[in-house]
A and B are shown apart, each in its own frame.
Chain A
């Protein structure tokens, strides 16, 4: 259970997001909203990437009080990932493996599944946006997380990779992992067993169904 309470976020003294109370239970959750409605900000806050007022609690662990334990349980893939261009995909996967104490065999499996083995030893500066996106998705699937937050995960991917991603999400979900996706697309297009729909609108996030 992911609980947001009295959450407030401002950029340059301009309020951009405010959530009084929201509970997101286990399952697959689809977060929709127009451009600039605060979807990405909401996920960045939940992942611990940016500072905010209020608190987010995951299964009793507070992000504000116990940052490291909280971040072990949650991972996040950005809509347009940015990584140091002098590092390789391999460097990043190894770095994540060590920080998230992830099993190397599992990362090897993901590399094979997402077909990044042919270029992951090249520097990120040589990657296309789709290649960088695949790396970011592999990184999000590493470690013993309970919630995986994916911002626009189906954008810039080819059809084969979209199918791989859907299969991986389903597999992780069967293992008891939970997801929040943001997307402009409708949930029906990707054939995932969505548990609830969330809406980002008017600087807040609420449950639709």
Chain B
């Protein structure tokens, strides 16, 4: 049994963490890096208490965990379907109980960050006599791990194609540059996209509903700034995509200004959900447009300044955080428009200066 666990550990679990290191590092940074160390426990206690007392918040947390679990299952199914991992098909020869235990082990290891945080939630729930919520978390995780293991057992014992088919988004017309970038999200980063947009929308709504006695669009823009800081993974994945699979496009006769404009259009399209939410919450068209300009300038700045050096996830997240803090202050100080113009100008200058001279990796 130990040998079998070792194989699944190397082939699936470690690969899962390798593939999702950027996403996990980002979530960890948002949860623990943004708060001062002396306030960390109070912050998380407050957060957990809020999720245990609001049914809506509680449901949202369970929803995010469900998405994470789906990501784990889909990743493992993809691992099983790879030709180099055909050895895993032999797991079907083991007794059903052993199979179930092996897959539960694999799911638990990948699901560990959620389980550890849940332990604190359960403890707090029982401490504050919120027993129903605490038990709910235990039942949720037990069912999730059980169902996930059952699904993987079904897949490994099935004679048909392994990978769970997710609907592929397809456009039957010529794809201009922005749609190629968005295609990466629609086809390979669906969950990351969904989580990013969800957190962005929640941030806008949380800030927008702060009690003030007059119309104040800056609240929505501040929420948007929080949401933009959450776009780190998407930006990093786009840049990685450019450095690898889309590298061939560097030999095409595309003007630098055209590329810059098209990346800007991709960011504008990316921010459509936030614009719809701001508009639906009663923001005036002009203010929604300013929000879009702030968002596009923010993302373009981060993107275009990343060509100075080969990609580095840690530096990328640090730059995101610094820009978020500065943007937050600028929006508060009513400098949103001049600041956005400045960001756009610097983004263009950096792109023009570094794009053609950029060398991603040595051959």
A residues near B (Cβ < 8 Å) are 11-12, 40-41, 44, 47-51, 67-72, 74-76, 78, 81-87, 91, 94-100, 123
Partner pick for B174 among A12, A50, A98, CB 8 A cutoff: A98
Residues of A within 8 A of B251 (CB): 44, 47-49, 71, 74-76
1/0 per residue, CB under 8 A from A, across B161-200: the answer is: 0000000100000111000100110111000000000000
Kindly report which residue of chain B lies nearest to residue A82, judged by CB atoms: B245
The 5 closest A-B pairs by CB, nearest first: A11-B362, A86-B187, A71-B253, A94-B174, A72-B253
In the complex the two chains form, is A48's CB within 8 Å of B250's CB? yes
In the complex the two chains form, is A86's CB within 8 Å of B359's CB? no
Distance A44 CA – B254 CA, assembled complex (angstroms): 17
In the complex the two chains form, is B245's CB within 8 Å of A84's CB? yes
In the complex the two chains form, is A82's CB within 8 Å of B362's CB? no
Nearest CB on B from A146, distance (A): 13
A76, A84, A91 pick with most chain B CB within 10 angstroms: A84
In the complex the two chains form, is B168's CB within 8 Å of A123's CB? yes
In the complex the two chains form, is B357's CB within 8 Å of A51's CB? yes
In the complex the two chains form, is A71's CB within 8 Å of B246's CB? no
With A44-B363, A67-B356 known, 14 other A-B pairs at CB within 8 A are A49-B248, A67-B253, A68-B253, A71-B251, A71-B252, A74-B251, A78-B248, A82-B244, A84-B183, A84-B245, A84-B246, A87-B180, A94-B175, A100-B253
Nearest CB on A from B323, distance (A): 27
Distance A8 CA – B238 CA, assembled complex (angstroms): 30
From 222 to 269 in chain B, residues with beta carbon under 8 angstroms from any chain A beta carbon are 241, 244-248, 250-256
B168, B244, B253 pick with most chain A CB within 10 angstroms: B253
B residues near A (Cβ < 8 Å) are 168, 174-176, 180, 183-184, 186-188, 241, 244-248, 250-256, 356-359, 362-363
Distance A83 CA – B246 CA, assembled complex (angstroms): 6
In the complex the two chains form, is B174's CB within 8 Å of A86's CB? no
Distance A71 CA – B356 CA, assembled complex (angstroms): 13
B168, B180, B241 pick with most chain A CB within 10 angstroms: B180
Residues of B within 8 A of A94 (CB): 174-175
Contacts known (A86-B183, A95-B180); A68 close to B254, Cβ less than 8 A: yes
Residues of B within 8 A of A78 (CB): 248
Residues of A within 8 A of B255 (CB): 68
Partner pick for A95 among B168, B175, B184, B188, CB 8 A cutoff: B175
Kindly report which residue of chain B lies nearest to residue A14, judged by CB atoms: B362
In the complex the two chains form, is A99's CB within 8 Å of B252's CB? yes
Distance A83 CA – B186 CA, assembled complex (angstroms): 17
19 contacts between A and B (CB under 8 A): A11-B362, A40-B363, A41-B363, A47-B251, A49-B247, A49-B248, A68-B255, A69-B253, A82-B244, A82-B245, A82-B247, A84-B246, A86-B168, A86-B183, A86-B184, A86-B186, A91-B175, A91-B180, A97-B174
Distance A96 CA – B248 CA, assembled complex (angstroms): 11
Distance A175 CA – B188 CA, assembled complex (angstroms): 42
Residues of A within 8 A of B188 (CB): 86
In the complex the two chains form, is B254's CB within 8 Å of A51's CB? no
In the complex the two chains form, is A87's CB within 8 Å of B241's CB? no
Nearest CB on A from B83, distance (A): 12
Kindly report which residue of chain B lies nearest to residue A70, judged by CB atoms: B253
Distance A207 CA – B338 CA, assembled complex (angstroms): 57
Residues of A within 8 A of B175 (CB): 87, 91, 94-95
Contacts known (A51-B358, A67-B356, A91-B175); A11 close to B248, Cβ less than 8 A: no
Nearest CB on B from A127, distance (A): 13
Kindly report which residue of chain A lies nearest to residue B258, judged by CB atoms: A68
Contacts known (A48-B251, A71-B253); A85 close to B245, Cβ less than 8 A: yes
Nearest CB on A from B350, distance (A): 16
Distance A69 CA – B252 CA, assembled complex (angstroms): 10
Distance A41 CA – B362 CA, assembled complex (angstroms): 10
Residues of A within 8 A of B254 (CB): 68, 71, 99
Kindly report which residue of chain B lies nearest to residue A49, judged by CB atoms: B251
A40, A95, A96, A123 pick with most chain B CB within 10 angstroms: A95
Nearest CB on A from B22, distance (A): 18
Kindly report which residue of chain A lies nearest to residue B254, judged by CB atoms: A99
Residues of B within 8 A of A97 (CB): 174
Kindly report which residue of chain B lies nearest to residue A71, judged by CB atoms: B253
Distance A51 CA – B359 CA, assembled complex (angstroms): 7
Distance A95 CA – B171 CA, assembled complex (angstroms): 13
Residues of B within 8 A of A86 (CB): 168, 183-184, 186-188
Partner pick for B253 among A41, A85, A99, CB 8 A cutoff: A99
Kindly report which residue of chain B lies nearest to residue A85, judged by CB atoms: B245
Distance A94 CA – B177 CA, assembled complex (angstroms): 12
Nearest CB on B from A54, distance (A): 13
In the complex the two chains form, is B250's CB within 8 Å of A49's CB? yes
Residues of B within 8 A of A48 (CB): 250-251
In the complex the two chains form, is A50's CB within 8 Å of B245's CB? no
Distance A51 CA – B176 CA, assembled complex (angstroms): 25
Nearest CB on A from B44, distance (A): 38
Distance A83 CA – B245 CA, assembled complex (angstroms): 5
Residues of A within 8 A of B256 (CB): 67
B188, B247, B252 pick with most chain A CB within 10 angstroms: B252
Contacts known (A49-B250, A94-B175); A84 close to B180, Cβ less than 8 A: yes
